[in-house]
Amino acid sequence: MSLAQGAQHGIAFTSLGLDPVLLQLGPFALRWYSMAYLAGIVIGWLYLIRLTRGTDSPLGRNDVDELITWATVGIIAGGRLAYVLFYEPAAYLEDPLSIFTLWRGGMSFHGGAFGVGLAIFLFCRNRKLIWLRVLDYVAMCDPIGLMLGRIANFINGELWGRPTNLPWGIIFPDGGPLPRHPSQLYEAVLEGPLLFLALWALYRFSSAKQRPGVLTGSFVFGYGVLRFLVEFIREPDQQLIAFAQVTGLHMGQWLCVPMIIGGGALIARGFNRPEFKPIQLAP
């Protein structure tokens, strides 16, 4: 089936009845995009509490509550600044105040990951905790937020894929007349449940949680590989089409390269170290 024929069988996004605004109260609009971030943080916090119940946990209950605040600041600050710097620097230079309009979207996962890592490093230095062990436990929670964020991208009708003649192709309002891969949903599944289960299996059935950096490295490496592959069927951001044509890869793929290398290095280093043995205090 050609793309022209596929256009006759594509699913109109407008027929799905999706609205980016969850609740409108006068001038106040609560958007699914904002809710995705809030829900990801809350569910991740609850999951982190569950993970840290064991006696060998690197965090206490009070530590978890305070860490979430630090991590939230890191996600928002890092994600927004990286998006501004790498994806639309010219637009934000013309209107610097729009940097703070977070409800309109525009966040970079790569920047958010860096921001979280830095925030956790500062938190651990302040609390005299082992940074990599804490980061390992936080990495276990990250796929939850990633899945919700990608679903929100789909509801927003943004970040769509390339044209396709597959029966589930979506005709997005701003994506032209051809049906496109719902790449947001591909990423939601791969970066969400698939990555979550892989990390859970490592945590549950291997010595990864006793080897600082292995779980973090597995998350970073896994995300980098999955995102790199999906980008081949994802349409580059409009303002970065020329960049992709010149370099041969999307901006997202270039940002994944250091993640793949760094994640692999963390895994190798973690498995080459002796297992971490928590100090057992006398009763």
Instruction: Tell me the pLDDT tens digit for each residue of 187-246.
Output: 999 999 999 999 999 999 999 999 999 999 999 999 999 999 999 999 988 888 888 999
In this prediction, residue 221 carries a pLDDT of 98
| Whole-number pLDDT of residue 70 | 92
Structure tokens at 112: 């958010």
Residue 3 reports pLDDT greater than 50: yes
Overall average pLDDT of the 260-277 stretch: 91
- Give residue-wise pLDDT tens across range 14-38: 999 999 998 888 777 788 888 998 8
The least confident of 4-8, 231-235, 274-278 is 4-8
257 vs 58: CA distance, rounded Å: 30
Place of tokens 């501004």: 84
Q: What is the pLDDT of residue 282?
A: 41
Q: Which sign does the torsion angle of CA 212, 213, 216, 218 carry?
A: negative
Give the C-alpha separation, 255 to 226, whole Å.
13
- The pLDDT tens digits for 91-109 are 767 777 766 666 566 778 7
pLDDT score at 279: 54
Q: Residue 178: left if φ>0, alpha if ψ -120 to 50, beta else—which one?
A: beta
Tokens of 160: 């769509």
Rounded-to-integer distance, Cα 39 and Cα 17, Å: 22
Is 24 strand, coil or helix?
Answer: strand
Stretch 58-85: mean pLDDT:
87
pLDDT at 2 over 60: no
Output the average pLDDT for the chain.
Answer: 88
Round to whole Å and give the CA distance between 224 and 92. 27
Measure the CA–CA gap between 49 and 59, rounded to whole angstroms: 9
Alpha-carbon distance values, 133 to 67, 82, 219, 238 (Å): 13, 26, 14, 39
Q: What is the mean pLDDT of residues 278-282?
A: 49
Helix, strand, coil tally for the chain in percent (to 5): 70, 5, 25
Count of alpha carbons within 13 Å of 71, Cβ hemisphere only? 25
CA 194/CA 260 separation, integer angstroms: 17
**Pairwise CA distance, residues 46 & 149, whole Å:** 18
Angle, helices 251-272/109-127, rounded to nearest 10 degrees: 40
